[in-house]
């Protein structure tokens, strides 16, 4: 007997085939943006600013050398102090979430906080590592286009 310890959650977040009544329902990982700039805690904010502007975003995630989330920088940081270090200005404890919940399970939280950092979970190697950022507008658009929330009636024809 073999035990697939990652289970259905691990299988699903890697986009592998599922079957069943709700198979195909979108999860947090399916809608994350993976191009959000990152920086190290000791980087100069002036350098971070250039990178973030080049990427066309106004947020930067601070990660350690293993990609584990340490904090979040917003525009006010790098526009204020070019010589300061990321760790001096970062917002500690930004809201995070696992990659496997369905969008309808996280939408209420997203509406409160605006975005969630999706991170590797559990005891797997790389736990806490940034996988992407899930934005409220992306989740709402995907739900509106593809899915009804549980309990919502089907549109009448």
Partner 1 sequence: MPIRITREDVQRLTADGAVLIDTLPEGEYAEEHIAGAVNIPQKKLTAQATAHLAKDVPLIVYCYDTD
Contact residues for partner 1, defined by CB under 8 A:
1-12, 14, 16-23, 25, 100, 121-124
For partner 1, give the closer residue by CB, 21 or 112.
Answer: 21
Coil, strand or helix: which one is 151? coil
Nearest to partner 1 of 22, 156 (CB atom): 22
For residues 84-96, one letter each, b for 16 or more C-beta atoms within 10 angstroms of the residue's C-beta and e for the rest, the string is ebbbebbeeebee
Q: 25 or 49, CB closer to partner 1?
A: 25
Smallest distance, partner 1 to C-beta of residue 102, A: 10
| Smallest separation, CB 149 to partner 1 (Å) | 15
Instruction: For partner 1, give the closer residue by CB, 20 or 56.
Output: 20
Cα distance between residue 76 and residue 70, in whole Å: 18
CB atoms under 10 Å from CB of 10, counted, come to 16
- Spatial distance between the Cα atoms of 105 and 64, rounded to a whole number of angstroms: 29
Token representation of residue 140: 């709402």
Shortest separation between residue 2's beta carbon and partner 1, angstroms: 4
Q: How far is the CB of 65 from partner 1 (least distance, A)?
A: 23
Closer CB to partner 1, 114 or 122, in the complex: 122
Q: How far is the CB of 4 from partner 1 (least distance, A)?
A: 4
DSSP class per residue in 89-148: HPEES--EE-S-SBHHHHHHHHHHHSEEEEE--TTSTTTTBEEEEEEHHHHHHHHHHH--
């Amino acid at each position: 007997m073999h035990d697939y310890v990652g289970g259905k959650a691990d299988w699903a977040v890697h986009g592998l085939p599922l079957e069943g009544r709700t198979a195909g329902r979108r999860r947090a990982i399916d809608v994350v943006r993976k191009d959000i700039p990152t920086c190290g805690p000791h980087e100069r904010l002036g350098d971070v600013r250039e990178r973030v502007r080049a990427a066309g975003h106004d947020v930067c995630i601070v990660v350690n050398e293993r990609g584990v989330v340490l904090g979040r920088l917003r525009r006010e940081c790098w526009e204020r102090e070019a010589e300061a270090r990321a760790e001096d200005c970062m917002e500690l404890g930004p809201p995070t979430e696992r990659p496997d919940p369905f969008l309808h399970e996280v939408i209420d939280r997203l509406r409160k906080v605006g975005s969630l950092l999706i991170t590797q979970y559990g005891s797997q190697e790389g736990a806490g590592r940034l996988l992407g950022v899930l934005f409220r507008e992306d989740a709402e658009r995907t739900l509106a286009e593809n899915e009804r929330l549980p309990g919502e009636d089907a549109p009448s024809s």
